Amino acid sequence: MELADQPDVVAPSASAPDPIAGAAPRMPLPVSFANPVALRIAFLMSLALMVLEMIPGLNLLFVVWWLGAGFGAVLLYRRLTGLVLSVRAGARLGSITGILTFVSMAVIFALTMVFMGNDLFQQMVKQDPQMSEVINNPPAMAALFLLVLAIIFGMVVGTCAAGGALGARFAGRDSGSRLT
């Protein structure tokens, strides 16, 4: 079975609540920005990730936290909805978490630049006098800034998506249904 043929939502888990008698079963929404449950979970995980990244010492494990945020988003989605996600849907939920995390990181970085930008640039020039050439050249500064943003975006979203895919892959396994 190809990856393109897999449905986004695989099956309800064993702990899924039974539908009310007489009510028509509702089709679950696909994992996207239009799914309010997925968006709330991704937002919650990005907030938890930002708190972890602000703690000195723990912020050095940022890659672990990014993977864990995607993985945790899939586990929380399964717990709240009772649905098991495919690997693709898990990666999508992880990428939504990564996008929200990147946006919050960019906002914090922008606020830091607004309030402490001059001091930061002066310290950079003290460490490397050639940085004054880059700082005084607006096109070079803009290009460097956009390049750094693109790299960080790719790292955050990609790592969170990988965590979501891993979460969907390993969280979807029930202990009783494993083949030995």
pLDDT, tens digit (0-9, with 9 covering 90-100), for 99-124: 999 999 999 888 888 888 778 878 88
CB count within 10 Å of CB 39 equals 17
Per-residue confidence (pLDDT) for residue 172, from 0 to 100: 64
Per-residue confidence (pLDDT) for residue 176, from 0 to 100: 34
Confidence of residue 16 (pLDDT cuts 50, 70, 90): low
CB count within 10 Å of CB 101 equals 27
Per-residue confidence (pLDDT) for residue 4, from 0 to 100: 53
Per-residue confidence (pLDDT) for residue 164, from 0 to 100: 96
Angle (CA) 70 33 3, round 5°: 60
d(CA 56, CA 50): 12
Confidence of residue 24 (pLDDT cuts 50, 70, 90): low
d(CA 169, CA 165): 6
What secondary structure does DSSP assign to 48-98, as a single string?
HHHHHHTSTTGGGGHHHHHHHHHHHHHHHHHHHH-EEEPHHHHHHHHHHHH
Q: What does the DSSP 8-state code read for residue 22?
A: T
Q: Which residues partner with 12 through β-bridges?
A: 83
Residue carrying the six token digits 């020039």 = 125
Average pLDDT over residues 161-172: 91
Question: What six digits make up the tokens of 88?
Answer: 């693709």
- Given a cut of 60, whether residue 177 has pLDDT beyond it is no
Average pLDDT over all residues of the chain: 83
What number of residues does the chain have? Answer: 180
d(CA 35, CA 33): 5
Give percent of the chain with pLDDT exceeding 90. 47
d(CA 41, CA 18): 23
- Given a cut of 90, whether residue 37 has pLDDT beyond it is yes
Average pLDDT over residues 9-26: 55
